[in-house]
Structure 1
Amino acid sequence: MRVLIVDDAAFMRMMLRKILETAGYEVAGEAVDGNDAVAKYFELKPDLVTMDITMPAKDGIEAVGEIRAKDPKAKILMTSAMGQEPMVRAAILAGAYDFVVKPVEEERFLKAVSRAAK
């Protein structure tokens, strides 16, 4: 399974890449904000996107809506330090598949990735 990692924090992208690659997933690419995420999604055509919510330029919820409007089958896993219920609800309503709170717990993250792969 090919994964696109979207996060404005380089250390977070690096950490998620390490977790995914160690578990045998292929990282198709990385994006630094919502605009970059939308462009790279359609360029790279990954099987799954891990999407941060709070980013500059365009946030993750807007990016999810844009991607899902053009590709309703897109699988997007939200990641955010803001685990408040309204953010989770907004992410799911925008079309996110699941939500993982940061700091990302490796086991929980991989379970969500594995569910998306099925």
Structure 2
Amino acid sequence: MAKVMIVDDAAFMRMMLRNTLEEGGHIVIGEAANGREAVERFTELHPDLITMDITMPEMDGIEAVRAIMGRHPQARILMCSAMGQQQMVLDAIQAGAKGFIVKPFNKQKVLEEVQRVCV
């Protein structure tokens, strides 16, 4: 069981991920709608794991990963990417993300990846 913060600019995507994670026994302790908010909320909440969208307003997911990892190198971040964002996923992993999940979400794959990163 992990305490998770969900970061995505689309409320619908946050809701879908929340439902999947909670069905898998995890606790969603917070949400953020952009990278800047994610950096601030991480410091407040100290989640075990962050799911981070790549494309967001104000600060994208890759910039947010760099900012969070710069302050909290132990952070565990899973990127959420749509098909065709492979280069961005690679950039995020180089910035410190521990893995990625692909949109549209497959519940089983999401839960497997969360388990892998949290062990």
Q: Give the TM-score normalised by the residue count of structure 1.
A: 0.97
Residue 90 of structure 1: aligned partner = 91
The 8 Å contact of residues 7 and 33 in structure 1, kept in 2 or not, is answered as yes
Q: 1:83 touches 1:101 (CA, 8 Å); kept in 2? A: no
**Unaligned runs of at least 5 residues, structure 2:** none
Q: In structure 2, what is the equivalent of residue 43 of structure 1?
A: 44
Q: Which amino acid aligns with 2:48?
A: D
* Aligned-partner SS, 1:104: coil
Equivalence for 2:105: 104
Task: Say whether the 8 Å CA contact 2:81–2:89 is kept in structure 1.
Answer: no
Bigger shift: 103-112 or 31-40? 103-112
Distance (Å, rounded) in 1 between the aligned partners of 2:19 and 2:52 = 16
Separation in 2 of the partners of 1:30 and 1:83? 25
> 1:79-111, CA deviations, whole angstroms, 9 ceiling, x for partnerless residues?
021443211210101100001110011111111
User: Match for residue 115 of structure 1?
Assistant: 116
Q: Equivalents in 1 of 2:63, 2:83: separation in Å? A: 16
Spell out structure 1 runs of 4+ moving beyond 3 A: none
**Cα shift readout 1:21-79 (whole Å, capped 9, x = no counterpart):** 11110001000000000000010000000000000000000000000000111000000
Q: Relative to structure 1, is the Cα distance of residues 69 and 60 closer, same or farther in structure 2, using a 3 angstrom cutoff?
A: same
Q: Percent same amino acid among aligned pairs? A: 57
Aligned length: 118
> Once the 2 structures are TM-superposed, how far is the Cα of residue 116 of structure 1 from its aligned partner?
1.4
